[in-house]
Every structure is written in structure tokens, then in C-alpha cells.
Structure 1
């Protein structure tokens, strides 16, 4: 027997077991031995190669009768509703040999269904849903800038009545709401690079032919379905091959290795899924409750960055290094002059598309500002520069916990933080850094041996 089982701890404790019973002699005692090893509650499902109308088969065999008698017990329930779960390519008939069984007290919470497409297999995918809303990860709604109507964005930008961060941010957000669509916030499917309109059409035609044959199982409809399936396989294979060849032709000795691997995974259909984080709390409980997870990771980050980790000598040096210096002077120094529009444009051109901070303003939106809005943004930066101020809004960050390689994902200490700060604040910092770097290079302040961070 081929059996694999996993134990899920959250949001409920349940054992999920998948089984394959080969099309030869076996008896229900084999299934009993497996059942005895499964902690309750459990889900037992798989290809039993047993036929019985009880779960939708077109006939009854000895294994089906044995399974029917075996199912007549109080502690388990059959989930199948009689829908066909497979298509026999030899006999060209739909059948049901895939069975799903659950602990009796778990049954009412489950929803069993069969997906309508074979996906180039002879078994339909079976979906068993557990109605727990926290199993679905809700993603923040993001601007879909690749679908933006930038002309409408320019027309919708209104100059703020006052020169402050909030008014300027609100003006950009209002224009974005008019001209840039947003994602739904639902988990999204990653598009494969070989997908195109032709592939979409032939797969749709294949599904249509299959559904027609399921409703009207005639020889003519079977032939149409098989032709549509074969043609779809041909087109998909050609599209994959062309996509791969086009990618190979762009590779050079300077190609980034991470980009190459990302392409390889996308062509092969491997996707990166962002699963909800599960953390073991101090009490030993495993939780994926967002508030509990955030609190546990936040406590770990606070502990890691606490000054209590340092000795007195280091703390004294740290205090000295971080003390505020007096930069006041009566001289007119070049690096203290107000910024100009050329510096703003240079910094903007150097920015890349990336995740925004809590204000939702992206670098793409800043690049698309009208000339009048760019002048206002420059005035806003210079006002901060001259008054030696920095807005509190730009000091806030969204902290993303990232799992360290090879570390235990259940431990809060296994995560490192990534901070998403506001793009306008990062743009201002880039302008300041560019000016200071220019001055340091001009005056040969860097030692010749320094290669990094310059």
C-alpha cells in the first residue's frame, strides 16, 4: 500500500492521509491497520480502485462491496456525493474510484466537490474545503501600475492648497484612485511566461469539449474531446518551447543568476506561495492568529535590538557616536544649499519600482508627477532641509518578517525584519546621499583603499 499522512495543527488539529490501493488483491483489514495509526480527527482519501454506486461508480465489484460493509460504522463518514471522479481512457467512461472518508464529528464542517477539468490526467481534482476564514491569507490591496492610465493621472492631479506632507500625499492618492486600478486583496495566481491568448483559447475549447461529452457521452463528442485535448497539449508544448528559446537567446555572461532561476521555475510551473506564518508561543501553543504572530515576532525584534544586549564599553561608544553634532556655521557651503530640480530628477530616475510604505505612494507614481507637482515636492524637501525637520509620517515603517535560510519557521527568532518606508522619504534621502557622496569624492575624503559603500 502507498500511504502518506500529515498532521495539521492549526486552525484545527486534523490528520490528513492520502492512500493508493493498487488494482490487485487487498482487503479492508489493510485499511483498518492504517486507520488505527491515524490520530483523530482525520481525513482519509485516495484512489481505492473499488467500484460501488454508493460513491458514484457505474458498477459494483468485490472490493466495492467490501468497502461498503466496512463503511457501515459510526466513527467515519463517506464524503463523496456520487459525482464522477475519473475518466477511464480505455473504456472511455466516467467512473468513481476516488473515495474521501472523514471522522464523523468532522463531517459537517467539510465541503466535498469535484473540479470540472481533468488537467491532462485521468482523475478529476477533488476539493475538500474546511470553512475556516483565517486559512485564506488576505493580501494588502496594491496599485496595479502596469495598467495605469497616466494621462488621466496627470489630469487628476490637483495642486494641494498647503505645502505639507499630508496634503501632498492626499493629492497623489486622489489621482491614483481615479487612474490606477488596485488588486483585489485576494491571493493571486502567478502567470506563467508561456501563457498567451492562443493557449487560453485551446484550453477553453478542450474544457468545452469535455463538458459536452460529460453531458452527452456519444462517440462523436468523445472524438471531438480527444482531438481538442491533443491539440491543446501540442499548442501548450510549442508555447513553452518558444518561451524558453526566447529567454535563452537573451542570456549573456553577465546575466543575473537569480533572474535565470526565477525564469526556470516560472517556465516549469513552480510557484512561490506566501503562506501564513505559524509561531510557537511561550506556552508551546502553535498559532497563526495574525495578532499573536505579530506580537511574538515584535517581542523578538525588540529583544534583538535592545541595548541590554551590549556591555557598558560599547554603550558608551554608541552614545558618543550617536550624539547630535553642532553643524551650525556662518559659511555658505555647497552641500548646505537648497536642492535644485536637476537633483530631484536625477534621484527619481535612479529609483526602481518597489513596494510602497504605509502611505501607499509608489516610485512609479512619483516619476509620473507633473512638472508643477515636482516643483512643489522640491519645495517641500527644501523646506525640511532649511528647517532641519523630518516628518513623523516618514519615520514609520511596515515591518515584514522574512524567514532566515534553514531556520525553524515556528521560532520567532528565525525571522529577520525588512522595513518598508515611504518612497518620498527614501527619495529625499537619496538626494541627500547623492550630494554628500559627490562632496566626499570631490574632496578626496575617502581613502584610496576603500572600495565598498562609495
Structure 2
């Protein structure tokens, strides 16, 4: 499954470009903030305030309460009843955990709410997802349940959007393909950027569940490896790939 995330800034040109990008990249779902199109169809659903939308080949779902804390509470409540989730959007929240220069009130609220969920942040690197008039920030965030984390690749696209937000592309591997992909590739230690690794390594706070903490710590290490090393194809039949 491929998911594309974008803030269209209510721009008609950006909307038209998105339709083209969805076809070219063969995306299954688009998560849209500040959409241009205000009329729903079977595959394009708006929230009640018409400030967010989800596009899909099939009937999608969408939620967007008016108050920030309320939307997060509703998302968290819904996510607790699901084993596999992807949560994404323009949260307009700053946190040093995802590369902001500081943590604001929205960032703290988002962290505190999602700390109660079994989800991990997919964002990697420190490139801004929003930029305008020389100003930039990381406000477009993507989270997924821990069970999906190892099967998901997150990236920012440099394709032109006609918006002040970048496209975010998430590739989710099929369950049966994940083990093959894991065995057939490994990180190239010669390409390691130590400072980048240290910058990207964010060990989650203790949750009280040892098994969960081990999983989340290994996921954080893997995420740092992805951001600081190149992958190379492994040819050895005698050694399994390791994150470092």
C-alpha cells in the first residue's frame, strides 16, 4: 500500500497536480490537509469542517474535530481499538523529537496523547515539510502502529506541489514480503554518518512493558540507521543483516 500525505493550502493547481502524482506514483490513499475540492464523492471524503480529506480508491474515513486536543483524544480513542493504524496530517505542532527547534504546546499535547498508544513516528531526517518565504518547519507528521513500523518506508518527495507543503510518501510492504526484504538487504557500515545517527536516534520513554520497550528501542535504532546509512544488498548466506 502506498500513502501520500500533503497540505494543498486550498490551491486548485496543487489539487490538479496531486491527481497526476497519485496516478504516476500509483498511490492507494492520499491524506489531505486544507483541500481545494469541497465536494465529496465516493472516493473523496471531507471532514465536517471541510479542512481535511482522504482520497482512496474505495470508501475512506475521515475525522477532524475543531479543537486540537479534542481531535487528538478522538484519534487516540479510535486507534486503541485497532491493531494496525496510520495517523497522519498537518498537526501544526512543533517538537524537538521530530526536528523542530523547540517544543510548543501543540507538540507537548500531541506527544502526551500519542504516548498512550502503540504507535511510532515515521518521519526521518530534519528536512522541513513546510516552507514559505524563507521560513520552514516540520509540521506534517506520520505515525503508524508498531506492528507496521518495520514494513513502512517514509520519505519526502521533491516533486513540485504548487503548495507550501511537500508530498510525503509512505510505502507499506505486504506482510508476506517483509521477511524476504529484511533478509535480502543490510546497511553499509562504510556509509555511516555518526553525527547523523546520533541526531536521529530518539529512544522512546519507558512504557512499563519490557517487550514493548525492546521493540520500540530496536525500531528507533533502525530508524536512525535508515537516516544515517545506505543500504546494500547482502550476498552472504551465513549471516543475517543487523541494524548496525
Q: Which has the larger radius of gyration?
A: 1
Q: TM-score range by the shorter chain?
A: 0.3 to 0.5
Which TM-score applies when normalising by structure 2? 0.42
Which TM-score applies when normalising by structure 1? 0.24
Bigger relative contact order, structure 1 or 2 (CA pairs below 8 A, ≥6 apart): 2
Normalized per residue, which structure has more helix? 1
